[in-house]
Structure 1
C-alpha cells in the first residue's frame, strides 16, 4: 500500500447553493479520507468550485452581478457549509484561482503541441444546463437534452477540437485491463458501451461568451483570442492544478495518480471517458478508481425548487445533528443506487439503529459497570480469551473484512457489518442475563461479559470513526482513549484486547425522537385508505388456540408459537410479543389469526400466519374473542 492517498470530490458548479447531493458526495469523500488517515497514510483531500461557463454568466446576469462577484458569493457558501460539517479537506480549489489558469493553459498548449488539438468548425446541439454537446441521435424529442430533458441550442461556431476519437481503442484496452477502474460494476459496463458505440472528436472551446479561461498566448492569434476553454476541460484539469502541476504552487505530484474521484452518475462520462483521454494526451498516469453514486429524491419525488421539496442539508444537520445525518445518508442507500430522503426514514434510523442498537448498548455497559463494579472492570486476560474465544475471533474476522468494503466504496455494507457486532453484543446480554448472574453471585462472569462489551465498543468505535467522528470520539472517551491511527493498528489489525478499564460515564448518545423536528414545506394531502367489501372478503381471520410456545434464543422480541386453527396440523407462527407475554401465560390462550397471509421466514423459521394485537402507550395486548370459540371459526 502506498504511503500517499489522494481523493477528490468533483468541483461543484456554482449556479446555486449546496444541496443534499453535494453533501452526500463530500461526506463519502470525507469518510474515505478519514479511513485512510486511520491506516496511517498521508492523505490529500481536494474539493472546490467550478466557476466558469455560459450558465454561470447567465445566472450572474439574472442576479444583476458580474460573474466574479456572483461566483465569489456562491463559492463561499460551499466553503462555509463544509466547515460547518467539519469536512476534513486539505485544499479548496476555485477555477478562478490564478494558479489553476496557469495549469489549464499549459495543459492545453501541451495537448496542442502533441497534435491532439486542432481548429475547425462545430455545429451541434448544446445544453447550457449540462454544459455538454449532443449528437442528433442522442437527443430526445429531436431537441431535448438526454440528461436534464431541457431544450438544447443549435450551435455553429469556430472551435478547437480534441481528438477524442483517436483514443477510443486505448481507452477500451485500459478498461479491459482495469476492471475496477469504474465503480460500481454497473457503471463500468455503461461506460464501455458508450465508448464502443464510437467516440467523436470533442469541441473544447467556445466563442459565444467570455466567462472562461482564454487560450494560451502561444495559440491565441488574432482570430482565436475570442476563444475560451470548454468548461469541462477547464474543470477536469483542477485535479492536477491543485497538486502544483505546471504552476507556481508547491509540487505535490507525488500524490498522482489519484486514488479515487468520487462523482455523481450524471458526470461519470466526463470523468471516465474525456478525462482519461486528456491524461493520455498529457502522458500522465490515469486515476486508479472513478466511483459514481446515485441521485437523491425526497419522499419519493424528484427535488424541485418550484415544488419546494429541496433538502437543505444544513437545516437537517441543525435539527438532527451532524453524525445522525452522516449515518443516515451513508447507511440508507447502497453506493451507486438512488436514495430517498424522508424525515420518517431518518427518525427510524436514529431511533432503531443509533438509539436502540448502539446508544442503549453503551448505556447498559455504563449502568451495569457502575452498579456492580463502581466503573472499574478487571478480568484475568487468559481466562477471558478462553471463555470468549469464539466471539472474539468472529468480531476480528468482521473487522478485518471492513477494509475491503471501504476500498470498494461499499460504505453502507461497511456500516451493516459494524451493526452486526452491536447486535452480537446485545444478544450476548440477553443470553447471559448478567442481572441474574449478579443475583447468583457470579460476579466474575458478569465482569467478563462487560469487558467483552467494552472491547467490542472500543474496536467498533475506531472503525465507526470515519463515518461518525464525533460519536466515535464520545464512545472512546468512555475508555479514556482518543482517535489515533496507532489504535487502528493495535486494536483492529493486531487484535489487542483490554482486560482492565475504568469507565468515564457520559450522557445518552442518541435520545429517542418522538416527532419530526423539521416543518415539512409541502404537506401531502391526507387520503382515506378505503377498501371495498370485496377486498375485505379476501382476508381470512380465524380463531385459534396457542398450544405451545418456544423462546427464540437469538431474538429479544420473537416467540415461536404452535397454534391450533382446527386444521389437520398446527400452524407455526413467529410473533414479536416476547417483551409483553411469557410462555406460561400464552399456552391455552385463544387468539385471532390472519390465516391466509403468505408464509415467510423470520430468523430462519417459517411463519404461517399473523397473530392480531393492538398497541398503544400502555403496551401491547393480543386480540381474542370474549368467549371460547371453536378453533378455526372465521371472523367476519
Structure 2
C-alpha cells in the first residue's frame, strides 16, 4: 500500500485498509464446517468454501481463469475495481492476498463508493423510505437520474437525494443550460440557414475563446476521470455550457439576422460546434440524450468517439439537419389527479 498509494481510494478507505493491516494480519480459514450450503471443498465434503473465496474468484473465472489463454483473459487485470465501502476490506486485503498467493496480477485500483441516503436518512424498510431505482427512472428518466447522481454526489462519499434536488438538476443543468442552448441555436439554424449546418466565417476573439474552451475539455477532464472525480468532470463540462450560453446571449444572433447574416451564421456554427463536443463528452453519463443531440447536429455514428474531439473533428458546413426537437424537457410537477389519470 505504501509503494502504490493509489491502489485503494478514496483516502478515507485507504486509511481504513492500512489501519487494518497494521493491526496485524492473521491466517484466514478458507473453508467452513458449521453449515453445509455452499461449494464443497474438493476431497472433503464436510467442508464448504468460505463465501468470500468463492465470490471473489468469480472475477477471474469470468475472465477465463484458469485458462490464461482464453480470449476474455485479456480483460484481467482490471483497470478499476469498483466496490461498496462496506466491503472494501474483502476487496483490498483478502482479494489481493488470494491473487498474490496464486501468482495472479492485482487489479490496478480498488475504489470504494459511498452510500445513498433518502433526504439525508438511511433507507430502511421499517422506516418506509426505500425507493426502487426503477421507480426513479420511471419518474425522471434514465439519463436524468444518471446525470443527477454523478453530478450531485462526490463518488466515494455518501450522498443524499430528494425530489427537489433531482428536479433542480434536471431543470437547471439539463433543460435550462444545455437543452435551451441547443433548442434556441438549432431552431435558428432550421429557420434561417435552410436547415443546413451554417458556414463558418471569420472568427472573432470571442469565437476563438469559447471554441478553445471546448477543445481543451478532453485534456482537462481525463485526469479527473482517472481518479473517479466524475462530479468534477461534469462540472468542468457544464462550465463550458454556461460560458457557451453567455457567448450566445452576448452575440445576439437573432439581432444579427437583420444586420449581418454572415456573422449570424458564424455564431450559430460556433455554438453548434461547442454543443457537438459537449454531447460527445456527455455520452458516458447520458448516452441516449447525448446521442439524440448528436443526431440533431448531423454527427454520424462513426464520428462520436473522443478521437473526434477538437479542431480535427469540426462540424461540416452545409450538411442537412433534421428538424430540431427538445432533448432535455423540463420536469413539470403533476398534481395527484393528473398522475392518477
Flag whether TM exceeds 0.5 (same fold): yes
| 1:411 and 2:230 aligned | yes
Q: What does residue range 146-545 of structure 1 map to in structure 2 within 5 Å?
A: 175-217=1-43, 220=44, 225-246=45-66, 250-380=70-200, 383-384=202-203, 388-439=207-258, 441-484=259-302, 487-492=305-310, 495-500=312-317, 501-515=319-333
Change (3 A) 1:198 1:459: same
Greater fraction helix = 2
The question of whether the paired residues in 1 share the 8 Å contact of 2:17 and 2:92 is answered with yes
Give structure 2 stretches of 5+ with no counterpart.
none
What root-mean-square deviation, in Å, do the aligned CA atoms of Structure 1 and Structure 2 show? 2.3
The DSSP-based 3-state class of the residue aligned with 1:421 is helix
Distance 1:462 1:486, change over 3 A: closer
Identify the residue that residue 48 of structure 1 maps to in structure 2. Answer: none
TM-score (norm 2): 0.92
Question: C-alpha displacement at 1:290, in angstroms?
Answer: 0.5
Residues 251, 508 of structure 1: alpha-carbon distance in 2 compared, 3 angstrom cutoff = closer
Equivalent residues of 1:184, 1:336 under 8 A apart:
yes
Distance 1:368 1:304 in 2: 50
Q: Distance in 1 between matches of 2:131 and 2:19?
A: 34
Distance in 2 (CA, whole Å) between partners of 1:418 and 1:483 is 21
Within 2, Cα distance between the matches of 1:517 and 1:405? 41
Moved over 3 A (4+): 247-251, 384-387, 482-487, 516-519
Please give the alpha-carbon distance, in whole angstroms, between the structure 1 residues aligned to 2:12 and 2:164: 30
Question: In the TM superposition, what whole-angstrom CA distance separates every residue of 1:155-178 from its partner, at most 9, and x where no partner exists?
Answer: xxxxxxxxxxxxxxxxxxxx1121
Number of equivalences: 336
Query: What per-residue deviation string (whole Å, max 9, x for no partner) do you get for residues 289-348 of structure 1?
Result: 111110011011110011111120011111211111111111110111101121111111
Q: Secondary structure at the match of 1:270?
A: helix
Partner secondary structure for residue 128 of structure 2:
coil
CA distance in 2, matches of 1:197, 1:518: 57
What is the Cα deviation at residue 495 of structure 1? Answer: 4.2
Structure 1 CA distance, aligned partners of 2:300 and 2:10? 34
Q: What's the CA shift string for 1:456-497, capped at 9, x where partnerless?
A: 1111111110110001110010122244476421224x6432
Task: Summarize the Cα distance change of 1:332–1:516 in structure 2 as closer, same or farther, 3 Å threshold.
Answer: farther
Cα distance in 2, alignment partners of residues 354 and 490 from structure 1: 23
The answer to whether the 8 Å contact 2:181/2:245 transfers is yes
Does the C-alpha gap of structure 1 residues 436 and 380 become closer, same or farther in structure 2, counting only changes over 3 Å?
A: closer
In structure 2, distance between residues paired with 1:417 and 1:387: 19
Q: Distance in 2 between matches of 1:260 and 1:518?
A: 44
Residue 371 of structure 1: how far off its partner (Å): 2.8
Distance 1:483 1:189, change over 3 A: farther
Q: Can you give the 5+ residue segments of structure 1 that lack an aligned partner in the other structure?
A: 1-174, 520-636
CA distance in 1, matches of 2:160, 2:86: 17
CA distance 1:461–1:213, shift in 2 (3 Å):
same
Q: Distance in 1 between matches of 2:67 and 2:215?
A: 47
Partner Cα separation in structure 2 for residue 420 and residue 273 of structure 1: 39
Aligned partner of residue 369 in structure 1, secondary structure: helix
Residues 462 and 427 of structure 1, relative CA distance in 2, 3 Å threshold:
same
The answer to whether the Cα contact below 8 Å between 1:378 and 1:451 also exists between their aligned partners in 2 is: yes
Query: CA distance change for structure 1 residues 410 and 210 in 2, over 3 Å: closer, same or farther?
Result: same
Shift of 1:252: 2.4
SS at match of 1:388: helix
Which protein has greater RCO, CA pairs closer than 8 Å, 6+ apart?
A: 2
User: What secondary structure, in the 3-state scheme, does the structure 2 residue paired with 1:384 have?
Assistant: coil
